[in-house]
């Protein structure tokens, strides 16, 4: 489907500068622009590309003032980045408009199915599951017994949602994720073996949550593992039993949250961060990548880095000395030799 600059400007409440009738049917980066595509400029460090891009239309902020002529048509908007995101949503919705229930899928007679369900090949909806309206469940998905899925949620191929779990509205779960597998609970025995502790809780995911590919969220031992509204979780993240992730918190890839840790709202957890169990993390905390967290964070808004995690400025100062340690040790060895020779 093609869109003209005039139509795009009308949709975004923008202003056209250039050929209002030029059309695009795809998007591109501004530095890789091609004819027939739309790009955007939000970061000033990319401004040089706008004078040479081959993109037909470029979204820019209303206060953008070019220093020399631009071949592309400009659509000026309040916020170019946000406007581009809106157009991507529109583009994706028109490109991937799934519908229908595959004859190769299985739906239990006791399941409740909402209107306009898309169900892909070899997917299974088990007993007493409740599926909301406009839900998209792709191929090879397992929806366990008594699972509840809210309206407008999309579940990609290969996802497994275990029994009794609850998924809210407008959620997106990417391929290969597992929701509600048993938490890692084993009791050591006198003979050195481990006895499995039954995990009888569930996972509760609130509205507008996105979960990346191959992420695992374990069910609670008792009660619920909870992912609060608006949280965004990257690929390859492990969230253990009885963890609570706060509203609008974001967690980057390969991070791991140990059991019963409670993370506040609007936190940011970088890649490969590890948190030990039973911690409480204050609202607005930021952990830089590869941090190791082994104590409670009581004050909100702190930025921490390192293992064990400390205030980022302290870590950065310490890292200067870390790099100098070999030279310091060498100098100490030389001083000890001098002192020994003088003795």
- Token pair, residue 320, equals 């200067």
In contact, 155 and 177? CB cutoff 8 Å: no
Q: How far apart are CA 175 and CA 157, in angstroms?
A: 5
For the CA atoms of 238, 243, 245, 246, the dihedral, rounded to the nearest 10 degrees, stands at -170
In contact, 104 and 86? CB cutoff 8 Å: no
| Residue appearing with tokens 């239309």 | 57
Q: How far apart are CA 214 and CA 221, in angstroms?
A: 22
Q: How far apart are CA 175 and CA 140, in angstroms?
A: 10
Q: How far apart are CA 33 and CA 154, in angstroms?
A: 31
Q: How far apart are CA 25 and CA 57, in angstroms?
A: 11
Q: How far apart are CA 335 and CA 342, in angstroms?
A: 11
**Who contacts 29 (Cβ-Cβ below 8 Å, separation ≥6)?**
39
Provide the annotated active-site residues: 241
Q: How far apart are CA 24 and CA 53, in angstroms?
A: 14
In contact, 90 and 72? CB cutoff 8 Å: no
Laid out side by side, the sheet with 57-61 consists of 15-17, 73-77, 57-61, 37-41, 26-27
- Count other C-beta atoms under 10 Å from residue 43's C-beta: 10
Q: How far apart are CA 157 and CA 165, in angstroms?
A: 18
In contact, 276 and 293? CB cutoff 8 Å: yes
């Amino acid at each position: 489907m093609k869109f003209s600059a005039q139509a795009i400007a009308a949709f975004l409440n923008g202003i056209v500068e250039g050929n209002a009738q030029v059309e695009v049917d795809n998007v591109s980066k501004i530095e890789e622009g091609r004819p027939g595509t739309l790009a955007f400029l939000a970061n000033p460090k990319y401004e040089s590309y706008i004078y040479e891009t081959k993109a037909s239309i470029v979204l820019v902020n209303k206060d953008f003032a070019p220093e020399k002529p631009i071949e592309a048509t400009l659509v000026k908007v309040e916020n170019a980045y946000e406007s581009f995101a809106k157009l991507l949503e529109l583009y994706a919705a028109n490109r991937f408009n799934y519908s229908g229930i595959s004859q190769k899928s299985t739906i239990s007679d006791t399941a409740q199915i909402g209107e306009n369900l898309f169900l892909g090949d070899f997917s299974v909806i088990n007993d007493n599951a409740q599926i909301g309206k406009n839900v998209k469940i792709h191929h090879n998905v397992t929806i366990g017994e008594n699972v509840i899925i809210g309206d407008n949620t999309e579940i990609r191929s290969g996802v497994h949602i275990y029994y009794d779990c609850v998924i809210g509205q407008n959620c997106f779960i990417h391929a290969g994720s597992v929701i509600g597998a048993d938490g890692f609970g084993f009791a050591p025995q006198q003979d050195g073996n481990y006895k499995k502790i039954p995990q009888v809780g569930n996972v509760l995911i609130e509205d507008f949550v996105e979960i990346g590919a191959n992420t695992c969220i374990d069910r609670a031992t008792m009660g619920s593992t909870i992912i609060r509204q608006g949280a965004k979780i990257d690929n390859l993240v492990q969230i253990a039993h009885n963890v609570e992730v706060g509203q609008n918190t974001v967690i980057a890839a390969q991070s791991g949250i140990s059991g019963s840790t409670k993370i506040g709202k609007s936190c940011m957890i970088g890649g490969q961060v590890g948190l030990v169990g039973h911690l409480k993390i204050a609202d607005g905390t930021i952990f830089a990548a590869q941090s190791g967290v082994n104590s409670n964070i009581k004050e909100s808004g702190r930025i921490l880095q390192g293992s064990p995690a400390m205030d980022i400025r302290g870590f950065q100062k310490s890292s200067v000395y870390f790099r100098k340690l070999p030279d310091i040790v060498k100098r100490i060895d030389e001083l000890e030799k001098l002192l020994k020779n003088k003795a």
